[in-house]
Amino acid sequence: MVMLTQITQRVTAWAVLAGFGTTCLAATPADYSWTTFGSQSVAAVGWSSADIGSFLAFASHADDTITIGDFRFVDLLGDGNIELVASADYSGRSLFNDLVIVHRSGGLFGMQHIGTPSLESLNGVISDINNDGKKEILVPTGLTPYVNGTVPVATWTAIYSWNGSLFQENTSSFSTYYATTVLSPLQAALKTANGTGNAEKIALAQIELDKATRVSIGPGTTGMSTAQALVASTDPVLRIWAASVLGDIGTADALTTLATLTQDADSSVALYAKSAQQQASWAHCDRVQIAVRNGGPEHLVDLHSRDPIVIAIYLDARRSQAIDRKSVTFGESGFEPSLLFCERNDQSLECRFGGALSGLTVSDAVATLHGKRKDQTCFVGQAGVQVVDGPQGRWQDRH
């Protein structure tokens, strides 16, 4: 019965397309309503993973194949609008290192990408854990690096919640959830690992428990003693893991110990330690509020426009004076040297960036800004955007 319904809907979609005289070869999610009400809802169609991969590739103008591990059409915000959540792979090897959240606004599709080591299934990823009617996204996030195919990656569950314009990592606000739901299984996992006597399994379980403790009930230095012990290990994998933990803790003591690993006799350990050191320099920045001033309420950024992208950085006057303006970068990753100039106004520091230099591409839904103050402390901000490639950028016009 379900199958019949799905088939009927697909046939209906073809009929609709034919009626419009379009040249489309097949219906895509763009041809359906992304709302929970009415007929022709995108969520009621039996899409295949290949359908979703093709849709994402087309919507983002991707030049490579996107493989989908799992996907859901779900009303994340409880507002009657449906979002698409998908685990995607860009490697061609089914590594599924990207979680994509697609929001439709009229004819536009905005995609937020969240990195993950490997997320083939979305089971347990989408949940309204604080019962506010808006769903959170629980993303397994890598703490240790990919050392090789046989070595596990230590992960922790980052919780992303809706902040009004994008899903932002906000795990520390869910300490109760962590204390009641996350920590206990990790403690049990550590107990099990201890029973194996396997040093790598024990270290992995301890690292994951320590990280979960740091992001929830604290203190933020939890795991320091474990990391210091791992530094002395003869197993290079454990020293690589130690480097990641030390960089994540990020205190002066931790960074001092991490510096010793950058000189490790094993070149692989040194390489990973240097990477951890560099990541640590931006991992503990203050969060600042930023806003895109372009494009009205949708924050449209037109890549073909000569107009700069205007970003307001909300800092008080004293703190904005201390900013090293040349350090400010903005764009898709947040490290793009796209700054044109900044100027102070009444309520914020307003900076202008070159759209073509920002690395933003069609359908990007999030832009990131990084900067440093004159005392070398850093700050980071994220804002929701809607990137289009000119007035023809809307989906239905290209389709």
Partner 1 sequence: MTRMVRVLVVIACALYAAGACATNQYCLSCSSSPTDWFPTQNAGYATVAARFAACGGSFTVDGAGGPSQWAPGTIATYQGFWYNPPRATHGNDCDYQTWWAVYHVVCQDGFQWDDTAHRCTAPLLVIVRPTDQSSFSLSAANSTATPLVPFQADPGAANTATSINWALQLEYQTSGGRGAHTEPYSFTTLGTGTNQQTYASTGGKLTVRASAVIDGIRQNAGPNVAYIVGVSIPNGSITDRLVLLYAGGATPRLLTGIAMMESTYRQFTVSTLYNYSGLWPLESYDGGSHVGLMMMPVSTGHAWDWLANTQDAETLFEQKLAIARSRETQIIAMHPGLPPLSDTDRERMALLLYGPGASGSLSKQYFASTRDNDGNWSWIRNSLGNPVGVTYADSVLSLIQ
Q: Does 64 bind partner 1 (CB under 8 A)?
A: yes
Q: Does 66 bind partner 1 (CB under 8 A)?
A: yes
Query: Please, are residues 127 and 159 in contact by the beta-carbon 8 Å criterion?
Result: no
Q: How far apart are CA 52 and CA 247, in angstroms?
A: 37
Q: Does 332 bind partner 1 (CB under 8 A)?
A: yes
When the beta carbons of 30 and 339 are compared against partner 1, the nearer one is 339
What number of residues does the chain have? 399
* Interaction pattern, residues 149-188, with partner 1; x per rule: CB under 8 A: xxxxx-----------------------------------
Q: How far is CA 54 from CA 22, 24, 115, in A?
A: 18, 13, 20
Q: Does 117 bind partner 1 (CB under 8 A)?
A: yes
Determine the interface stretch with partner 1 among 23-31, 89-97, 188-196, 211-219 (rule: CB under 8 A): 89-97
Residue of 16, 146, 175, 398 that binds partner 1 (CB under 8 A): 146
Q: Does 357 bind partner 1 (CB under 8 A)?
A: yes
Q: Does 359 bind partner 1 (CB under 8 A)?
A: yes
Q: In the block, which residue shows the tokens 């397994």?
A: 140
Q: How far is CA 160 from CA 170, 240, 365, 399, in A?
A: 6, 27, 15, 32
When the beta carbons of 63 and 316 are compared against partner 1, the nearer one is 63
When the beta carbons of 249 and 280 are compared against partner 1, the nearer one is 280
Residues 37-73 as b or e (16 or more Cβ within 10 Å = b): eeeebbbebebebebbbbbbbbbbebeeebbbbbbbb
Q: Does 302 bind partner 1 (CB under 8 A)?
A: no
Query: Please, are residues 203 and 192 in contact by the beta-carbon 8 Å criterion?
Result: no
Taking alpha carbons only, the member of 91, 38, 39, 89 closest to residue 68 is: 89
Q: Does 89 bind partner 1 (CB under 8 A)?
A: yes
Q: Does 142 bind partner 1 (CB under 8 A)?
A: yes
Q: In the block, which residue shows the tokens 């854990």?
A: 129
When the beta carbons of 220 and 337 are compared against partner 1, the nearer one is 337
Query: Please, are residues 274 and 261 in contact by the beta-carbon 8 Å criterion?
Result: no
Q: In the block, which residue shows the tokens 């061609």?
A: 92
Residue partners of 268: CB distance under 8 A and separation at least 6: 147, 236, 240
When the beta carbons of 51 and 89 are compared against partner 1, the nearer one is 89
Residue of 36, 337, 373, 380 that binds partner 1 (CB under 8 A): 337
Residue of 33, 118, 187, 305 that binds partner 1 (CB under 8 A): 118
Site for partner 1 in 240-279 (CB under 8 A): 267-268, 271-272, 275, 278-279
Provide the H-helix boundaries in the chain: 2-20, 49-59, 175-177, 183-196, 199-215, 224-231, 236-249, 252-261, 267-283, 317-321, 395-398
When the beta carbons of 178 and 272 are compared against partner 1, the nearer one is 272
Q: Does 49 bind partner 1 (CB under 8 A)?
A: no
CB of 338: closest distance to partner 1 in angstroms?
A: 9
Residue 360's identity, in one-letter code, is L
State the residues that interact with partner 1 by CB under 8 A: 60, 62-64, 66, 89-95, 97-98, 113, 115, 117-118, 120, 142, 145-146, 148-153, 267-268, 271-272, 275, 278-279, 282, 331-337, 356-357, 359, 361, 364
